[in-house]
Amino acid sequence: MVEIAEAHNKTSAQIILRWHLQAGNIAIPGSSEGKCLIHTGAKAL
């Protein structure tokens, strides 16, 4: 997962989120820090 993320200049969380969305799954990302949640969600799309 790390290699894929690095190859696309993304985080592992962003890759996993995108995979779920493309598969038609409902993904609810979580973070204890709001700015991380916004960053992960915005960059995955």
Q: Looking at residue 13, what is its pLDDT?
A: 85
Reported as a single tens digit per residue, the pLDDT across 1-35 is 899 999 999 988 889 989 999 999 987 777 666 66
How far apart are alpha carbons 37 and 7 in whole angstroms? 22
* Cβ neighbours for 44, distance < 8 A, ≥ 6 positions apart: 10, 13, 14, 15, 17, 18, 21
Domain parsing of the chain, residue ranges: 2-44
Reported as a single tens digit per residue, the pLDDT across 26-40 is 877 776 666 666 665
Q: What's at 28, amino acid-wise?
A: I
Residue 27, helix vs strand vs coil: coil
